Amino acid sequence: MDLSKRSEENIEYMLDKIKEKLRMVNVGVIQASHFNEEMYEDLKDIYELIERKQNFSTSEMSAIVEELSNLRK
């Protein structure tokens, strides 16, 4: 997938990967429709961080979810 292009499809892809990697229980809280392309680069930064790490502490997961909440429309 070419994540260099801002698109709703890419936003959805990155969010799905983030939710999968963090093993989020309440996946309905974070949906692609909650984000717009203006926040694309910030979302991509979070996605790239998550892809680099294998494990996350509870505080890291909490901080990531909080940051995603701050990016919502």
pLDDT of residue 27: 64
Q: What is the pLDDT of residue 6?
A: 92
Residue 55's domain comprises: 9-71
Instruction: Reply yes or no on whether the pLDDT at 25 is more than 70.
Output: no
Contact 21, 50 (CB under 8 A): yes
61 belongs to a structural domain:
yes
Q: What is the mean pLDDT of residues 35-49?
A: 91
pLDDT band at 30 (very low <50, low <70, confident <90, very high): confident
What is the total residue count of the chain?
A: 73
Asked if residue 4 is part of any domain, the answer here is: no
Total number of domains in the chain? 1
Specify the pTM.
0.83
